[in-house]
Structure 1
Amino acid sequence: MFPAPFERLRRLAPEISRFALVGGLGYATDVVLFNILRALLDTPSLLAKFVSLSAATVIAYLGNRRWTYGHRATPEEAADARRRFLLFVGWSCGGLTIQLGCLSLSHDVLGFDSLLADNISGNVIGMALATAFRFWGYRTWVFRATPPAPDAASWASNANDVSGPAR
């Protein structure tokens, strides 16, 4: 019905929607906590961003594990929650690095040190780049789809196929 790229996007739409909602909650946590730390408690911008993103990461992990990618969990993966959490934190740290890089470039290199400039560089530009990075990383490495188990008919057909790989 749809051309191939749009069909794939249509199939991904529910997952992207759940990811966006969980991310929105994490983003709200990040922005609110960052601004409280930065404006009310006079915390340096990079430290405030590190703390706010750390809190948002925990919220995002729980939401993505339970809701966005919960359908992908197998009993083996559920038993390996520590490994999955460490992978999630690793990809989140990659996103954190992207956001801190944008904030540092704006604040320290370009000299835009107002609260508005910090919010635009860290919470808009940095977040947009980091979100794309995280979506790919979480989907590809942290919450992998489990390939379906082959059925008996495919085992039999593969066992009888001695022609080798198609060339």
Structure 2
Amino acid sequence: MSERGALRVRLDLLAREVAKFGVVGAVGLVVNIAVSNLLWRYTDIPTVRAGLLATLVAILCNYVGFRYWTYRDRDKTGRTRELTLFLLFSVVGAVIETGVLYAATYGFGWDTPVQSNVFKIVGIGIATLFRFWSYRTWVFRALPDGETLPAGEASADVPPADGEALPDKGVVTTEGVAQGRAVPVPAPAQAAAVRAEADPARR
């Protein structure tokens, strides 16, 4: 595969990852904003503290979505390490998110419902960039070269293992692209060999 083709594969996989991350993040955003507004409206919990509680609820929802959908094809051998790092980086993201709301509320006095929602969303946006980088790099790690998930757990977005046959597409070879995952390439030579073996039988 050419260098340009390899880059195209990497970008395609990254685009899918970003899209899935965005969907889970959007669900988390809805949960975060909904819980925040419920607490602000129906409880006497201070604005920033209520926003932090809502963030923690959203973090739990996000973990389920990331582990079992966005990154379901990633390494699953170290769940304790994974969950610990997820909580650690999520706390850092929560500090970033809550820090923006805190600065707006107590630094500038912007604490009306509309202003609180606006800065809550701004904080979530900044924290999301950090979370995306940290989760994909440290939490949900790619499988080491040569390792695959157990049968039935592979994602539809992940190509088959090296040397595995694909219907009507030949075999798969590793080209060192997309985190060492296999890439399908045609195998016309195999089809020609089958036809050559079949011709003598007809004669």
Q: Tell which has more relative contact order, 1 or 2 (C-alpha 8 A, sep 6+).
A: 1
Task: Report the counterpart of residue 36 of structure 2 in structure 1.
Answer: 34
What TM-score do the two structures reach when normalised by structure 1?
A: 0.80
Counterpart mapping for 1:91-106 below 5 A: 91-106=89-104
Task: Report the counterpart of residue 135 of structure 2 in structure 1.
Answer: 138
Distance 1:110 1:65, change over 3 A: same
Q: In the alignment, is residue 129 of structure 1 matched against residue 126 of structure 2?
A: yes
Q: How many residues align?
A: 146
Task: Report the counterpart of residue 162 of structure 1 in structure 2.
Answer: none
Counterpart mapping for 1:1-167 below 5 A: 8-74=10-76, 77=77, 80-122=78-120, 124-149=121-146
Residue ranges of structure 2 left out of the alignment (5+ in a row)? 148-161, 163-203
Per-residue CA deviation, residues 74-113 of structure 1 (Å, 9 max, x unaligned), is 4xx2xx2122111101111111011111001100001111
Q: Which amino acid aligns with 2:100?
A: C
Whole-angstrom distance in 1 between the partners of 2:106 and 2:95: 15
Q: CA shift at 1:8, angstroms?
A: 4.0
Distance 1:5 1:125, change over 3 A: farther
Whole-angstrom distance in 1 between the partners of 2:92 and 2:6: 31
Residue ranges of structure 1 left out of the alignment (5+ in a row)? 152-167
Give the CA RMSD over aligned residues. Answer: 2.2
Kindly, what percent of the aligned residue pairs are identical? 35
Whole-angstrom distance in 2 between the partners of 1:105 and 1:46: 10
What TM-score do the two structures reach when normalised by structure 2?
A: 0.66
Q: Which amino acid aligns with 1:126?
A: G
Q: Which amino acid aligns with 2:127?
A: A
| Higher Cα radius of gyration | 2
Task: Report the counterpart of residue 160 of structure 1 in structure 2.
Answer: none
Whole-angstrom distance in 2 between the partners of 1:29 and 1:85: 20
Distance 1:3 1:73, change over 3 A: closer
Whole-angstrom distance in 2 between the partners of 1:127 and 1:141: 20
> After the TM superposition, which of the residue ranges 101-110 and 40-49 deviates more from structure 2?
40-49
> After the TM superposition, which of the residue ranges 124-133 and 4-13 deviates more from structure 2?
4-13
Q: When you count strand as a share of all residues, which structure comes out higher?
A: 2
Q: CA shift at 1:147, angstroms?
A: 2.7
Whole-angstrom distance in 2 between the partners of 1:29 and 1:129: 17
Distance 1:6 1:114, change over 3 A: farther
